[in-house]
A = this chain, B = another copy of it.
């Protein structure tokens, strides 16, 4: 998920690790900035796989500013990961949102295919708060907070489904 965000942002333009960290934090919004202990090792792994390159701009003293860029292999890998997301990247809300942020880089047909996978998942009965095959009715949940969770989760799901249908329709027109 972090590596996808790195590839995605570097596809837009080359930048320092520090700038990358700022953008990734902005994207996730809410939760606190990702740590250096996550970012730097992730970049090291991506460099080791040949997906990311870096060029040091030496300064008078101290460590040189390192500009990170995507290699051709990195660009290919980004498109592959966007076009053929793993099951958990469809299933897990925050992973899917990371994917969405860069989906515009794909050809429109591929975009629609990914959106449809997410829609199918959200429409599947197993997806949300079913009990014995029947959708659980909010009134049947005694606890106020469990009821609240159910209502909020359903409202989000409904809004996302509406947006997905609309966007798929736009892409197909």
- Select one of B92, B146, B151, B170 contacting A30, CB under 8 A: B92
Nearest residue (CB) in B for A93 is B30
Contact of A156 among B32, B146, B155 (CB under 8 A): B155
Query: Does A167 have its Cβ within 8 Å of any Cβ on chain B?
Result: yes
Q: How many copies does the complex hold?
A: 2
- Other-chain residue from B32, B145, B153 in contact with A29 (beta carbon distance below 8 A): B153
Query: From residue 126 to 156 of chain A, which have CB atoms closer than 8 A to chain B?
Result: 127-129, 143-146, 148-149, 151-153, 155-156
Q: Which of A's residues lie within 8 Å of B, judged by CB?
A: 29-32, 88, 91-93, 97, 100-104, 127-129, 143-146, 148-149, 151-153, 155-156, 159-160, 163, 167, 170
